[in-house]
Chains A and B, each alone.
Chain A
Amino acid sequence: MANHAHKLEIFRGLIKFKSNTQKIWGVLLLLSIITAVEVVLGIYKPISLMTPSMTPFEGGFGALLCNIIFSGFIYMKSLNLLFIVLTIVKAYYIAWDFMHLRDETKALRRLVVWTTIFLISYLIFILLQEAGYIESVYTNGFIKRDF
């Protein structure tokens, strides 16, 4: 095991570390910076990021498709979208460098990553979609809540 090979580049080879230990500290720095950015944005909540960055497309099937494709930009506050993207970036570096997925075979990597991504995306879609429907019934239906 002594000559266990590690891939030492991150950012697609933009940064190459000299040793595995050095790479670990580099990744820690990156994760800390991302967390600090999240915390600062979470505390100050810049007004410019508190609204969605796009308005919904109108009319026709193409507009519907565009609304689905850009749903993150249309229906989500920019700040929340940013938080989720940063979280996924963090998750990537934890899995790739701390859990050594970068050094595993491509097949194992895909086995782990695509299975979870596929199932979780489906779960999120179905639950949030239905929750939106129930919310619309609560809001527009004849349900009294303020008592």
Chain B
Amino acid sequence: MDSTIVSTGTEGKTWGGGNQPLKSSYGKMMMWFFIVSDALTFSGFLAAYGFSRFKFIDYWPIADEVFTHVPFLHGQELPMIYVAFMTFVLIMSSVTMVLAVDAGHEMKKNKVIWYMFFTIIGGAIFVGSQAWEWATFIKGDYGAIQTNGGNILQFGEYKTVDGDLIFKRVAVEEFTTASETERVQHENKNGLWFVGESALPVFSVDDVYHGLESHPSILVRTQTINEDGEKTVLSREASLSQVKDNGKRYVKGANLEVNEYGAPLFADFFFFITGFHGFHVLSGVVINIIIFFNVIIGTYERRKNYEMVEKVGLYWHFVDLVWVFVFTFFYLV
């Protein structure tokens, strides 16, 4: 055995090995490396969002008008409230996580268990809220007409609220009745088995035009943002001619192809970035559950340190950190 040990004469010197200049364990260092690279991934996505938004800076949807819903408060416009709640839940679960790490440093197993439990609950609430937010966004609320050029025409009328004349959105369903149509959805089972199409729109453009004609107070609002930072409302004549000349199809809600709130790119980035973040939260919850059970069966008690809790905690805080930026760039700015 002696022959395999080589003495280099550099032991204890700076380059002799065994140094820990960063005074951090291997596992924690690797978690930091991962976090840095993941932060760059997210910033790539958010910068791409900024790129698209700057390209269409005068046509981009206003987030306050898109995300106005709160569960159980149907029909009320409460921008920001629900997403603020989600942000608070995530920050709160970050706090319970850091408290779990702190309890781990003091080797208090029961405290770690309880704090990790609350962290997991917070994460679950957040993912659930995000699913609800997606569902609401996909479902849509007012409906709109998409033009041949891909622009969105929304509808509304001026109403006096508390002495101020403000533009109130009107759902297309409220003024339009669907006409008889012979066109049926082409499904794979009826025709060529490899050809199908998605569900047909409820209304044709003509239906919407007739509805608009018979309701003189309703006007069209375009995507263009004016000097006051509001979407432009057209005159009655322009409204009618826009729908008649340029209307292509009725759209409701948002998906990867159309978006009743404006540019489809907005929906694409929303689904991709919040989806990617939501996936991080979901995997964070799963990793948290694994560590949670490890704490319960006493793995770290026997190991005599709770560094694993600290490492998963780093990941969990990172997810929170990313949300802080997503919140700003999707909902605030």
Chain A residues proximal to chain B, CB less than 8 Å:
1-2, 4, 20-21, 24-25, 28, 31-32, 35-36, 38-39, 42-43, 50, 80, 83-84, 87, 90-91, 94-95, 97-100, 104-105, 107-108, 111-112, 115-116, 119-120, 123-124, 127-128, 130-132, 134-135, 138-139, 144-147
Query: Known: A21-B102, A99-B314. Is A94-B94 also a contact (CB below 8 A)?
Result: yes
Complex alpha-carbon distance, A83 and B327, angstroms: 10
Looking at the assembled complex, report how far the CB atom of A68 sits from the nearest CB atom of chain B, in whole angstroms. Answer: 17
On whether the beta carbons of A94 and B317 are closer than 8 Å, the reply is yes
On whether the beta carbons of B51 and A146 are closer than 8 Å, the reply is no
Contact of A39 among B55, B80, B105, B148 (CB under 8 A): B80
B22 part of interface (Cβ distance < 8 Å) = yes
On whether the beta carbons of A2 and B106 are closer than 8 Å, the reply is yes
Query: Known: A20-B102, A35-B88, A147-B147. Is A116-B56 also a contact (CB below 8 A)?
Result: no
Contact of B321 among A1, A94, A138 (CB under 8 A): A94
User: Which residues of B have CB within 8 Å of A127?
Assistant: 47-48, 50-51
Query: Known: A50-B229, A135-B54. Is A99-B148 also a contact (CB below 8 A)?
Result: no
Looking at the assembled complex, report how far the CB atom of A75 sits from the nearest CB atom of chain B, in whole angstroms. Answer: 11
User: Which residues of A have CB within 8 Å of B23?
Assistant: 104-105, 108
Query: Known: A32-B88, A32-B91. Is A147-B246 also a contact (CB below 8 A)?
Result: yes
On whether the beta carbons of A112 and B36 are closer than 8 Å, the reply is yes
Query: Which single residue of chain A is at the shortest CB-CB distance from B102?
Result: A20
Looking at the assembled complex, report how far the CB atom of A47 sits from the nearest CB atom of chain B, in whole angstroms. Answer: 10
B32 part of interface (Cβ distance < 8 Å) = yes
Query: Which single residue of chain A is at the shortest CB-CB distance from B322?
Result: A91
Contact of A98 among B22, B48, B94, B107 (CB under 8 A): B94
For the side of the interface on B, what is the size category? 35 or more
Closest 4 CB pairs of A and B: A131-B54, A147-B149, A127-B51, A87-B328
On whether the beta carbons of A108 and B32 are closer than 8 Å, the reply is yes
B57 part of interface (Cβ distance < 8 Å) = yes
User: Which residues of A have CB within 8 Å of B101?
Assistant: 100
On whether the beta carbons of B102 and A24 are closer than 8 Å, the reply is yes
B331 part of interface (Cβ distance < 8 Å) = yes
Looking at the assembled complex, report how far the CB atom of B146 sits from the nearest CB atom of chain A, in whole angstroms. Answer: 12
Complex alpha-carbon distance, A97 and B22, angstroms: 18
B43 part of interface (Cβ distance < 8 Å) = yes
On whether the beta carbons of B98 and A1 are closer than 8 Å, the reply is no
Query: Known: A94-B94, A108-B32, A147-B149. Is A128-B51 also a contact (CB below 8 A)?
Result: yes
On whether the beta carbons of A90 and B324 are closer than 8 Å, the reply is yes
Contact of A145 among B105, B149, B305, B325 (CB under 8 A): B149
User: Which residues of B have CB within 8 Å of A2?
Assistant: 105-107
User: Which residues of A have CB within 8 Å of B328?
Assistant: 38, 83-84, 87
Looking at the assembled complex, report how far the CB atom of B228 sits from the nearest CB atom of chain A, in whole angstroms. Answer: 9
Query: Known: A1-B305, A87-B324, A147-B148. Is A43-B80 also a contact (CB below 8 A)?
Result: yes
B137 part of interface (Cβ distance < 8 Å) = no
User: Which residues of B have CB within 8 Å of A21?
Assistant: 99, 102
Query: Which single residue of chain B is at the shortest CB-CB distance from A51?
Result: B229
User: Which residues of B have CB within 8 Å of A1?
Assistant: 104-105, 107, 305-307
On whether the beta carbons of B87 and A35 are closer than 8 Å, the reply is yes
On whether the beta carbons of B24 and A108 are closer than 8 Å, the reply is yes
Contact of B99 among A24, A32, A145 (CB under 8 A): A24
On whether the beta carbons of A138 and B55 are closer than 8 Å, the reply is yes
User: Which residues of A have CB within 8 Å of B294?
Assistant: none
B256 part of interface (Cβ distance < 8 Å) = no
Complex alpha-carbon distance, A116 and B43, angstroms: 9
On whether the beta carbons of B332 and A83 are closer than 8 Å, the reply is yes
Given contacts A24-B99, A146-B149, 4 further A-B contacts (CB under 8 A): A1-B307, A31-B91, A87-B324, A120-B43
In the complex, 24 of the A-B residue pairs with CB atoms within 8 angstroms, ordered by the A residue number, are A1-B306, A25-B95, A31-B91, A35-B84, A50-B229, A83-B328, A87-B328, A94-B324, A95-B317, A99-B313, A104-B22, A105-B23, A108-B29, A111-B22, A120-B43, A120-B47, A124-B43, A124-B50, A127-B48, A131-B52, A131-B54, A138-B56, A147-B147, A147-B151
Looking at the assembled complex, report how far the CB atom of A135 sits from the nearest CB atom of chain B, in whole angstroms. Answer: 5
Looking at the assembled complex, report how far the CB atom of B47 sits from the nearest CB atom of chain A, in whole angstroms. Answer: 5
B333 part of interface (Cβ distance < 8 Å) = yes
